[in-house]
């Protein structure tokens, strides 16, 4: 297991071309909407994550972990802002973003009525899901090959930072709840429920996005996205082993040390700065 990694706040703006929101990925509409549907969840989700860990900031005494929590909050705040911009591009493309976002907000507001440990555990569960999805994205360059560079950059940035802070909420949970059988049972229960709720929302959201963009009855598109998630590259098939590791009593996010991918961060930052400079000159 690697040592703790300190998250870095990267205040990046991706200058997304709104006119490419539905065709930024060369794999076609169905794969593009796979990513786009994920973006719908992020603004409300990131705000929930921030709130759930803030509930415990006063109970955590480890100075290093407290600093990491502050950096985690900063990263998630930037993720919220940039995915709001992303979702604004989808809204301009006549996608039903406001209606779908309202459903996510309602679900998370309901979870916020539950005890604080359940809220934090829900965050731990969803952080694991985003971390293993991000790992797959970083592992396979072909997933964003020839994609619009702005959209490719925002997904790589999000994947890198989800990797960088993937243990922060987990460590916070163990710091306040311990590692005994009760703490283990609670995190496993929350993991199961969070995944059931997330995927039960994601699938109809995805179908709605496809229907609105004219791809619902495109059989070739369905074949392509089925291969994307379950065949080759099989992004969901490939995350299954690491997803299942969450059920291990001794699990820790850094038992899968993929910190080598963080070496890509500086190059990505320079790429995004060039986007910003170009946009400023064009303004």
Q: Give the three-state DSSP class for 93.
A: coil
pLDDT in tens, 62-75: 999 999 999 999 99
Tokens linked to 51: 């709130």
Phi-psi region of 70 (alpha: psi -120 to 50; beta: other; left: phi over 0): alpha
> What is the pLDDT tens value at each position of the chain, 283 positions in all?
455 799 999 999 999 999 999 999 999 999 999 999 999 999 999 999 999 999 998 899 999 999 999 999 999 999 999 999 999 999 999 999 999 999 999 999 999 999 999 999 999 999 999 999 999 999 999 999 999 999 999 999 999 999 999 999 999 999 999 999 999 999 999 999 999 999 999 999 999 999 999 999 999 999 999 999 999 999 999 999 999 999 999 999 999 999 999 999 999 999 999 999 999 888 7
What does the pLDDT read at residue 283? 75
What does the pLDDT read at residue 116? 96
* Dihedral (CA of 21, 23, 28, 29) sign: positive
> Cα(249)–Cα(258) distance, rounded to whole angstroms?
21
Cβ pair 201, 103 in contact under 8 A: yes
DSSP 147: S
What does the pLDDT read at residue 71? 96
> Cα(265)–Cα(271) distance, rounded to whole angstroms?
10
What does the pLDDT read at residue 3? 57
What does the pLDDT read at residue 57? 84
> Cα(73)–Cα(54) distance, rounded to whole angstroms?
9
User: By C-alpha distance, which of 34, 134, 42, 130 is closest to 81?
Assistant: 42
CATH class, domain 18-282, is mainly alpha
Distances (CA, A) of 260 to 45, 48, 179, 241, 243: 27, 29, 28, 20, 20
Q: Give the predicted TM-score (pTM) of the model.
A: 0.96
* CA angle in degrees (0–180, nearest 5) for 175-179-185: 120
What does the pLDDT read at residue 256? 93
Q: Give the three-state DSSP class for 44.
A: helix
Cβ pair 9, 74 in contact under 8 A: yes
**84 phi and psi, to 5 degrees?**
-65, -40
> Cα(116)–Cα(9) distance, rounded to whole angstroms?
26
3-state helix, strand, coil in the chain (%, to 5): 75, 0, 25
């Amino acid at each position: 297991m690697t040592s703790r990694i300190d998250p870095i706040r990267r205040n990046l703006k991706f200058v997304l071309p709104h006119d490419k929101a539905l065709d930024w990925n060369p794999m076609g509409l169905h794969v593009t909407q796979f990513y786009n549907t994920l973006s719908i969840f992020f603004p409300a989700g990131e705000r929930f994550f921030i709130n759930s860990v803030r509930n415990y900031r006063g109970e955590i005494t480890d100075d290093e972990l407290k600093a990491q929590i502050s950096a985690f909050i900063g990263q998630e705040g930037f993720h919220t802002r940039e995915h709001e911009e992303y979702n604004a591009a989808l809204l301009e493309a006549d996608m039903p973003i406001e209606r779908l976002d309202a459903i996510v907000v309602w679900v998370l507001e309901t979870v916020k009525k539950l005890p604080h440990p359940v809220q934090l555990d829900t965050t731990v569960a969803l952080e694991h899901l985003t971390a293993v999805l991000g790992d797959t994205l970083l592992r396979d360059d072909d997933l964003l090959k020839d994609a619009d560079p702005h959209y490719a950059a925002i997904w790589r940035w999000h994947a890198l930072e989800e990797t960088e802070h993937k243990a922060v909420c987990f460590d916070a949970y163990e710091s306040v709840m311990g590692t005994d059988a009760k703490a283990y049972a609670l995190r496993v229960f929350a993991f199961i429920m969070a995944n059931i709720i997330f995927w039960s929302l994601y699938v109809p959201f995805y179908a709605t996005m496809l229907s609105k963009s004219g791809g619902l009855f495109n059989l070739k598109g369905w074949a392509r996205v089925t291969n994307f998630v379950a065949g080759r590259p099989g992004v969901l098939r490939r995350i299954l082993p690491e997803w299942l590791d969450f059920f291990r009593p001794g699990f820790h996010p850094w038992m899968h040390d993929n910190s080598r991918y963080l070496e890509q961060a500086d190059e990505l930052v320079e790429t995004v700065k060039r986007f910003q400079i170009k946009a400023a000159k064009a303004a």
